[in-house]
Chains A and B, each alone.
Chain A
Amino acid sequence: ETGVTQTPRHLVMGMTNKKSLKCEQHLGHNAMYWYKQSAKKPLELMFVYNFKEQTENNSVPSRFSPECPNSSHLFLHLHTLQPEDSALYLCASSQEEGESYEQYFGPGTRLTVT
């Protein structure tokens, strides 16, 4: 069983909808990450949180809004998305940011924007 869970696993939403993706890690890690994975493209780092503080916003459009209420939970709030935002959204965690610790990934949320 993975130590990082994500819900929902699949999501279809219209461009005017508001939805949220949830990530939870049970590994006692202090850093959490959001990545976007599009077909045939490299994983793109979106946001990084270290000890609940956002340390990276990789030029992500404001229609994506992260929230990290504690070190175990990470949310990605979505609003007025575009069809090109359809992708697999992966959450990951690691012991800390700032060191080369391996990252543990969740199974992802497959998002389709119609």
Chain B
Amino acid sequence: GQNIDQPTEMTATEGAIVQINCTYQTSGFNGLFWYQQHAGEAPTFLSYNVLDGLEEKGRFSSFLSRSKGYSYLLLKELQMKDSASYLCAVSDGDYKLSFGAGTTVTVRA
């Protein structure tokens, strides 16, 4: 089966940086997604990595190491509106998305 691990909760201060790690073991790999989900709302797409390295998109960056089965999402200059759950999802050999349980990030003033 698929196994995707990420921390349950993280807390950080407004203006700080937070790094959310994700490790995975899946049958095949066709890319890794990060989604953001505010409470009571739909998950929204943040990033997609299929090759090793860092993808930067504004305040958010995502990194992938396929050999280590590892990714992280980096949130810089944290804002209160960044308080949400962050979901790591891996597209497996059949292009099916397997999700981690999500990391709840709380940003404090």
Give the residue of A4, A41, A48, A104 whose beta carbon is less than 8 angstroms from that of B45.
A104
Residue contact A100 to B50, C-beta cutoff 8 Å: yes
**Contact residues of A: prevailing secondary structure:** loop
Residue contact A4 to B42, C-beta cutoff 8 Å: yes
B63 to chain A, nearest CB (A): 17
Which residues in window 9-60 of B have CB below 8 A to A?
A: 30-31, 33, 35, 40-45, 48, 50
A4 to B45, CA, bound (A): 13
Which stretch of A14-22, A63-71, A77-85, A105-113 is in the interface? A105-113
Residue contact B96 to A45, C-beta cutoff 8 Å: yes
In this complex, the interface size class of chain B, counting residues with CB under 8 Å from chain A, is 20 to 34
Q: Which residues of A contact B33 (CB under 8 A)?
A: 102
Q: Which residues of A contact B42 (CB under 8 A)?
A: 2, 4, 90, 105-108
A60 to B96, CA, bound (A): 16
A43 to B90, CA, bound (A): 12
Give the residue of A4, A56, A100, A107 whose beta carbon is less than 8 angstroms from that of B41.
A107
User: Is A61 an interface residue, CB under 8 A from the partner?
Assistant: no
B97 to chain A, nearest CB (A): 7
Residue contact A42 to B50, C-beta cutoff 8 Å: no
Residue of B nearest to A91 (CB): B42
Residue contact A42 to B99, C-beta cutoff 8 Å: yes
User: Is B105 an interface residue, CB under 8 A from the partner?
Assistant: no
Which residues in window 86-109 of B have CB below 8 A to A?
A: 87, 89, 91, 95-102
User: Is B84 an interface residue, CB under 8 A from the partner?
Assistant: no
A93 to B45, CA, bound (A): 12
**Which residues in B have some Cβ–Cβ distance to A below 8 Å?**
4, 8, 30-31, 33, 35, 40-45, 48, 50, 87, 89, 91, 95-102
Which 7 pairs show the lowest CB-CB distances between chains A and B?
A105-B42, A43-B99, A100-B31, A42-B99, A102-B45, A105-B43, A100-B91
6 A–B pairs (Cβ distance < 8 Å), ordered by A: A42-B98, A98-B95, A100-B95, A105-B43, A107-B42, A108-B42
